[in-house]
Amino acid sequence: MPEHVASIKMYVGVFLTLMVFTRITVWVAYQDLGAWNDIVMLTIAVTKAVLVILFFMHVKYSTRLTALTAISGFFFLAILICMTLNDYLSRFQLLGPLVPGK
Amino acid sequence: MASTAYDNRLEGLAAPHGGHHPSLQHQFDSLEQQKESSTLGMWMFLITEIMFFGGLFTAYVIYRSTLHGVFAAASHELNVNLGAVNTAVLIGSSLTMALAIRAAQVNRQKLILLFLFLTMLLGSTFLVIKGFEYAEKFEHSLVPGPGFQFMGMTYRGFAPDPEHVSPEVLQVGDKAQIFFSLYFIMTGIHALHMIIGIGVLLWLFILSWKGRFDSTYYNPLECAGLYWHFVDIVWIFLFPLLYLIGAHVH
């Protein structure tokens, strides 16, 4: 089989990186950074997810079709969250001027 | 039929380019095409899973954007240490799962069994720790429903004086039910995925025991791995969003 066999060193390396990121995200959570807490937390989570997808889920070594399929899943998720937030976050603004006396 | 498959296997061993591989389904031209198809199909399924959990994450985002302080205070009730340990356990199980597939790629049959066993063991460890966490929530009346009682509103100045709790504070405390509803639904469905995953791995363990997988054919291992890693990714997001948002609140 012409299958790519990744080295054990690579797998362990990815695992250790994920562990380090987990430690960092817990440490950051105890610091009061205001809105940056969420930003740092989500950036680390996305980085960890990308590492798992690329190396553990072999997307880095798979065909373009598989990679595109994987990306499309997260694209749909982005549509779901963004469109829903478009609605929810704009509702109250639209209602605002309608409230009497304001 | 059994003898045909056996004959095919013998033929395949005798002439690698001649007879059919016993695991090659007749609708596919080659093992490569079969593997590509199963991987693609599994990703299609995972897209539906992304959307399934995506609905819950969207609900979380909407409620958190309106109940920011309540979510932080409610999150404070979760055990960050147990959550962090479970994150490590789950990422560890992803490592052993990936190594099980690698063992198949390099024809190490016994290593497949060992790593599948370790993956199931770590998965079970995760569920046991989760069980202890759930029990603690039941003890502290933090399960949404008639018995729900949230006393954590002293954080963030919602109730500066615990002796004098205003109705307004009680109302805000009640809203913490939304956080705990999301917590139980999201972690509960995640745990259900883990249980199903362990079931699948058990089945693959038996097939591996029978020597069904080697470097030429390990599609079921690859697909189960994709599923297992996906469940890991869901937890990678659940852990910070549920456990860590209230950590810096004292």
pLDDT tens figures, A42-67: 999 999 999 999 999 999 999 999 99
Which tokens in the block code for residue A28? 């950051």
pLDDT in tens, B203-219: 999 999 999 999 999 99
Share of chain B above pLDDT 70, in %: 83
CA-based max dimension of chain A:
74
**Residue B13, pLDDT score:** 53
Residue type, B189: I
CA distances to A21, A79, B86, B194 from B240, rounded to whole Å, are: 12, 22, 12, 19
**Mean pLDDT computed over B174-179:** 88
Locus of tokens 């997001």: B237
pTM recorded for the entire structure: 0.87
Residue A8, Cα to own-chain centre: how many angstroms? 26
- Direct distance between the N- and C-terminal alpha carbons of chain A, in angstroms, rounded to an integer: 71
Residue type, B71: F
Closest by Cβ to A5, choosing from B35, B58, B106: B106
Find chain A residues with C-beta within 8 A of B36's C-beta: 63, 65-66
B139 touches chain A (CB under 8 A): no
3-state secondary structure of B164: coil
**What is the C-alpha separation between B217 and B206, in angstroms, rounded?**
16
3-state secondary structure of B214: strand
Find chain B residues with C-beta within 8 A of A6's C-beta: 102
**What is the C-alpha separation between A68 and A23, in angstroms, rounded?**
31
Burial class for B182, CB neighbours closer than 10 Å (0-12, 13-18, 19+): buried
Distance from CA of B147 to the nearest CA of A (A): 30
Residues 6+ apart with CB under 8 A from B131: none
Residue A100, Cα to own-chain centre: how many angstroms? 42
Q: Residue B90: name the closest of B165, B194, B180 by CA.
A: B194
B92 touches chain A (CB under 8 A): yes
pLDDT grade, residue B5 (50/70/90)? Answer: low
**Residue B8, pLDDT score:** 52
pLDDT in tens, B123-171: 999 999 999 999 999 988 888 888 887 766 544 445 455 556 666 566 6
Q: Is the ipTM of this complex over 0.85?
A: yes
CA distances to B33, B67, B133, B144 from B172, rounded to whole Å, are: 57, 9, 24, 14
pLDDT in tens, A38-47: 999 999 999 9
Among the residues of A1-102, which ranges form H helices?
Answer: 8-29, 36-51, 64-95
Which tokens in the block code for residue B182? 């999301």
pLDDT in tens, B66-85: 888 889 888 988 999 999 99
Q: What is the CA radius of gyration of chain B?
A: 24
Burial class for B38, CB neighbours closer than 10 Å (0-12, 13-18, 19+): middle
Closest by Cβ to A45, choosing from B80, B226, B236: B236
Locus of tokens 């003898």: B3
pLDDT grade, residue B35 (50/70/90)? Answer: very high
Closest by Cβ to B40, choosing from A38, A52, A65: A65
